[in-house]
Amino acid sequence: MTRRTFMADIDRWVRLSERRLDAVTKQATNNLLRGIRIAPGINRSGTRQRGTIPRDLGVLAASLQSTLYGSTAISQAGQDSYALVVGFMGAGDRAVFSWGGAAAPYVKEVHYGANGVPGTFWIDDRAADWPAIVRAATAEAKLRVRP
Amino acid sequence: MNTKDIRNAMKAQLLGGAVADTAWPNVKDSGTTPRLEVEFTGVRQEGGTLKGNEVHYEEGTMMVIVAAAKGGGTDAGLDLAGAVAARFPEGSRLTITGGTVTIMARPDIRGGFPDDTNYRIPVAIRYRARNT
């Protein structure tokens, strides 16, 4: 009798842990990408602000390509394309988010700077927030995902 | 330790190789080729004391952009990027006033791209500084 209860506890603990891992993966990825700021660029009376995607020539922010390699394989393009990928993500999946491509081949010039105009480094700047984002998502999952 | 000490230690380490003309943050580049352009990005700090200028912990990336001649192939630029990376082996430590700066990962030599006058190769150097 005791043995059966112990096994049931283990099963319940494993299921709960898996749900929490999935929740942290989704929440942290969503917060990471949702938090990237888009600012008016030089062509729109703005400046190049560190940590932002400048809306200058129009299509850089919208060139986001979100791809999920994992239990579900999907790829989507567009400024909010990460939302669909996040919806299907689970712990252990690999996802790639990139800007540029044929729509905005100038992405590196904007990110790293070129022709005397400083870069905005939004990818490196946002990646630096990843540990804090995961810590916050973990705390949230502990509260939200309960037995 | 403070931000100035941390950045000066990183700059001194880079300059120790005397690899090329260098443009520091808020200093106009010379326009010569090849040259290095330095930016600090993704910097996160914790104070830990009530002294406003004191930094207890800092983590960030020193981004060194190698600006090589355009149209001459990638070898010269990559050689220079490799020389920059060699100045910062993973795990190496720089001692500064009141703290230590540690290189957290092997420097990341990223894909190059051309602008109007140069071929530019970013080298990302991740560091972490702690007070002692």
Say if A51 falls within a structural domain: yes
pLDDT over 90 at A5, yes or no: no
Question: What's B69's domain CATH number?
Answer: 3.30.2000.20
Give CB contacts under 8 A, 24+ apart, made by B9-15. Answer: B9/B94, B9/B95, B9/B96, B9/B101, B10/B62, B10/B94, B10/B101, B10/B125, B10/B127, B11/B38, B12/B94, B13/B87, B13/B88, B13/B94, B14/B38, B14/B62, B14/B64, B14/B84, B14/B87, B14/B88
pLDDT over 60 at A2, yes or no: no
pLDDT in tens, B73-84: 899 999 999 999
Pairwise CB contact (< 8 Å): B39 & A129? no
Structural domain count of chain B: 1
Structural domain count of chain A: 1
The interface residues of chain B toward chain A in range 93-132, judged by CB-CB distance below 8 A, are 111, 113, 115-117, 120, 122, 124
pLDDT over 70 at B18, yes or no: no
pLDDT in tens, B53-102: 778 889 999 999 999 999 888 999 999 999 999 999 999 999 998 899 99
- What distance in Å separates residue A110's CA from the closest CA in chain B? 11
Q: Which domain holds residue A125?
A: 12-144
Under 8 Å CB pairs connecting chains A and B tally to: 46
Say if B46 falls within a structural domain: yes
> What's at A38, amino acid-wise?
I
Q: Considering CB atoms only, which of B39, B42, B117 is closest to A127?
A: B42
Say if B93 falls within a structural domain: no
Cβ of A130 under 8 Å from any chain B Cβ?
Answer: no
Say if A6 falls within a structural domain: no
Q: Which domain holds residue B111?
A: 3-88+100-131
CA atoms within 13 A on the CB side of A11: 6
pLDDT in tens, A10-48: 888 889 999 999 999 999 999 999 999 998 877 767 678
Q: Which pTM was predicted?
A: 0.87
